[in-house]
């Protein structure tokens, strides 16, 4: 499913028009981005948790040349599915 298909489904499920559904989805994505940027997390009970995880610096290898390279530490967005979502997927 791509973004436009998701907007169509949200519009149908929530009884909104496509513009309102698109605005709601964009607001949700912007809010998640800003919250994670600050280092905070978002928990949606039954759905999951969006958070930021720290990756330590490490040594990698260029697969083409075999040369070692240093990969710097970084922060990565993470999503952990909640119990309700896991159960729904496994039905």
Q: Please state whether 60 falls in left (phi above 0), alpha (psi between -120 and 50) or beta.
A: beta
**pTM score of the predicted model:** 0.81
- What average pLDDT does range 56-72 have in this prediction? 94
7-58 pLDDT tens trace: 999 999 999 999 999 999 999 999 999 999 999 999 999 999 999 999 999 9
* The two three-digit tokens of residue 74, written as one number: 């970084």
- Name the CATH architecture for the domain at 41-91: Irregular (4.10)
Q: How far, in whole angstroms, is CA 15 from its chain's centroid?
A: 25
Residue 17 confidence (pLDDT): 96
């Amino acid at each position: 499913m791509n973004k436009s298909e998701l907007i169509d489904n949200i519009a149908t499920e929530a009884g909104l028009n496509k513009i309102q559904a698109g605005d709601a989805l964009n607001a949700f994505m912007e809010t998640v981005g800003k919250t994670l940027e600050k280092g905070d997390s978002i928990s949606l009970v039954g759905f999951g948790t969006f958070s930021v995880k720290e990756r330590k610096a490490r040594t990698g290898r260029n697969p083409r040349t075999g040369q070692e390279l240093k990969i710097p530490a970084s922060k990565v967005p993470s999503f952990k599915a909640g119990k309700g979502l896991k159960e729904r997927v496994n039905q």
